[in-house]
Amino acid sequence: MANVKLSKSEENYLKSIFNLSEFGNKQVSTNSISKVLNIEPASVTDMIKKLSKKNLIYHEKYKGSTISKSGIKIALQIIRRHRLWEVFLHDKLNFKWDEIHNIAEELEHVSSEELIDNLDKFLKYPKIDPHGDPIPNKLGEIDFVDKISISDLNINEKGIVSRIINEDEEFFSLLKKLNIEIGTEVKIIDKIEYDQSLEIHIDNKSVIISKDIADNIKITKI
Amino acid sequence: MANVKLSKSEENYLKSIFNLSEFGNKQVSTNSISKVLNIEPASVTDMIKKLSKKNLIYHEKYKGSTISKSGIKIALQIIRRHRLWEVFLHDKLNFKWDEIHNIAEELEHVSSEELIDNLDKFLKYPKIDPHGDPIPNKLGEIDFVDKISISDLNINEKGIVSRIINEDEEFFSLLKKLNIEIGTEVKIIDKIEYDQSLEIHIDNKSVIISKDIADNIKITKI
DNA sequence: ATCTAAATTTAGGCTTACCTAAAAAATTTA
DNA sequence: TAAATTTTTTAGGTAAGCCTAAATTTAGAT
Ligand SMILES: [Mn+2]
Ligand SMILES: [Mn+2]
Ligand SMILES: [Mn+2]
Ligand SMILES: [Mn+2]
């Protein structure tokens, strides 16, 4: 049972499974893992077997996978590393908030507990990363700031962007094009029945964004 | 010819070959690589073939390997990354000088040129790492500070420890036991004919160290 | 309830980076 | 210089982590 070091691949799978499971509450399909990791389903099945044998997830054939207690614990540590490195890259090395994710994706696998604890201290124990995501502490405790997203606002309501969920390159460049970042004020102008698109104001300019985009942008109502 | 990203293994081999070659001047034996990397000679032969095909080294069967111009260039970049991370770990995260090497051994493989350049700037372009080793600049230029070692001193001469060559755990703990670190003053008391051991004073206490140990500790004469 | 389509798993393969054992070449010793 | 030793390479294998193609199971549509 002694925590044997996980490979980079195992860590990436575990983190993705945790993220897809919504804090360990949902069963995760093989296909969904395949999609987020860009790895063929057959390969995902292989890794699921490996992680199951290590009791980091439970798997019922043809049904899906559930992350275990110890799996969650490890996933939270990987997320902690990722987000602390993102803070470092953003606050200390002056990277833009949309340039840090990929580098942190590598740095998160350098697993020295002392390294992360010292980094945490150096950064003065930050609570959120540059995308507004909460950072688990050493014990894996995490502030549950499940904010509402743009699509939860009603017409004429306003919010301040506080968190970006999707961290893909394309999503970042879309946000850039829309002039949306953490702190941006948005106002709902109209909700389009047809496909639930939203017309919103950013810097007093009107744009229409899809429901999917709106769901990926969390805000604080003002 | 376009620089395809090297694997962690390839990078470690290349760095070791460069280090063994004394700045590209010496031919490197398969066995010596095997020893520093703790990998069997047969496996080293495999990798030598791989690196040869990429023109990073030249290899003459049964004779040895020579690092190429482009091999040197890459090796210097890896060394740059390693030493910059060591400075960061030591100066910013408050690690001791004997705790940083292994972590840097991992961090050096996170290869984003922007990351390293920003780190360099953040650290204010340091010239040497915490072991006294010079840090190559962005262009791979490196201050050639080939200092003399303890074994080059004569009886009654004194020096200040300026650089530790061997970065193995065991060597570090030996130095710790001997109370030797960067900045320590040493004085030669006696040179023992038999095996060229040296009797030296550290903090006015006398110890005897082997020629090999003395060779691995560079000093500035005072 | 059956037929179809989608999701999942199995089977068989590939590459990387290692290994051991044995063969071949080079070096040292006598 | 021949024999012994050391170094290096070749041959054959393994585990991790991926792939494609084919089989199986489940879920959705009629
Ligand atoms: Mn990652
Ligand atoms: Mn983030
Ligand atoms: Mn390394
Ligand atoms: Mn160093």
Q: Which of A45-59, A87-101, A107-121, B156-170 comes out lowest in average pLDDT?
A: B156-170
In one-letter notation, the amino acid at residue B159 is G
Q: What 3-state DSSP class applies to B111?
A: coil
B4 half-sphere exposure, CB direction, 13 A CA radius: 8
Q: Which residue has the higher pLDDT, A8 or A2?
A: A8
- Position A146 confidence tier, pLDDT thresholds 50, 70, 90: low
pLDDT digits (tens, 9 = 90+) for B34-93: 999 999 999 999 999 999 999 999 999 999 999 999 999 999 999 999 999 999 999 999
For residues A15-34, one letter each, b for 16 or more C-beta atoms within 10 angstroms of the residue's C-beta and e for the rest, the string is bbbbebbeebeeebebebbb
pLDDT digits (tens, 9 = 90+) for A24-55: 899 999 999 999 999 999 999 999 999 999 99
Tokens encoding A82: 């990722």
Average pLDDT, chain B: 93
Nucleotides of C under 7 A from a protein CB: 7-12, 16-22, 25-27
B192 half-sphere exposure, CB direction, 13 A CA radius: 13
Quick check: B94 contacting A, CB < 8 Å? yes
Q: Which residue has the tokens 């890896």?
A: B78
Tell me the chain B residues in contact with residue A92 when contact means C-beta distances shorter than 8 Å.
122
Residue A180: exposed, middle, or buried by beta-carbon count in 10 A (0-12, 13-18, 19+)?
buried
- Domain B8-67 sits in CATH 1.10.10.10: yes
Report whether B87 contacts B126 (CB < 8 A): yes
Residue B22: exposed, middle, or buried by beta-carbon count in 10 A (0-12, 13-18, 19+)?
exposed
Quick check: A127 contacting B, CB < 8 Å? no
Q: Which residue is nearest to nucleotide C6 (CA to C1')?
A: A31
Measured in Å, residue B110 CA sits from the centre of ligand 3 at 10
Tell me the chain A residues in contact with residue B115 when contact means C-beta distances shorter than 8 Å.
89, 93, 103
Q: What 3-state DSSP class applies to B198?
A: strand
Q: Which residue has the tokens 């040869």?
A: B52
Which residue in A has a C-alpha nearest to residue B116's C-alpha? A93
To probe the interface with B, which of A115, A122, A124, A125 has the most B CB atoms within 10 Å? A115
Q: Return the bridge partners of B148, or none.
A: B219
Domain ranges in chain A? 8-67, 148-221
Q: Return the bridge partners of B79, or none.
A: none
A60: which nucleotide lies closest, measuring CA to C1'?
A: C8
**Backbone dihedral angles phi then psi of residue A180, each to the nearest 5 degrees:** -105, 130
Report whether A186 contacts A202 (CB < 8 A): yes
Quick check: B38 contacting A, CB < 8 Å? no
Q: Which residues surround ligand 2, an ion (CB under 5 A)?
A: A 86, 129, 131, 133
pLDDT digits (tens, 9 = 90+) for A157-213: 899 898 888 888 888 899 989 999 888 999 999 998 888 899 999 988 899 999 889
Q: Which residue has the higher pLDDT, A126 or B204?
A: A126
- Position B143 confidence tier, pLDDT thresholds 50, 70, 90: confident
Percentage of chain A exceeding pLDDT 90: 70
* Contact flag A94-B118 (C-beta cutoff 8 Å): yes
The CA–CA distances, whole Å, from A58 to A8, A26, A170 equal 20, 12, 33
Q: Return the bridge partners of B160, or none.
A: B185, B220
- pLDDT the model gives residue A74: 97
Work out how many CB contacts closer than 8 A connect A with B: 42
- Position B146 confidence tier, pLDDT thresholds 50, 70, 90: low
What kind of fold does domain B148-221 have according to CATH?
SH3 type barrels. (2.30.30)
What's the CA B153/C1' C19 distance, rounded, in angstroms?
A: 45
B21 touches strand D (CB under 7 A): no
Q: Is the predicted pLDDT of residue B4 greater than 90, yes or no?
A: no
Q: What angle do CA A142, A145, A149 make, to 5 degrees?
A: 145
What's the CA A52/C1' C3 distance, rounded, in angstroms?
A: 35
Report whether A135 contacts A142 (CB < 8 A): yes
**Average pLDDT estimate for B157-163:** 89
The rounded distance, in Å, linking the Cα atoms of A112 and A23 is 24
Q: Is the predicted pLDDT of residue B145 greater than 80, yes or no?
A: no
Q: Where are the beta strands (DSSP E) in chain A?
A: 57-60, 64-67, 148-149, 158-164, 185-191, 198-202, 205-209, 217-221
Q: What angle do CA B135, B138, B142 make, to 5 degrees?
A: 40
- Position A16 confidence tier, pLDDT thresholds 50, 70, 90: very high
- pLDDT the model gives residue B2: 54
Q: Which of A40-54, B95-109, B190-204 comes out lowest in average pLDDT?
A: B190-204
Asked if the domains A8-67 and A148-221 are classified in one and the same CATH topology, the answer is no
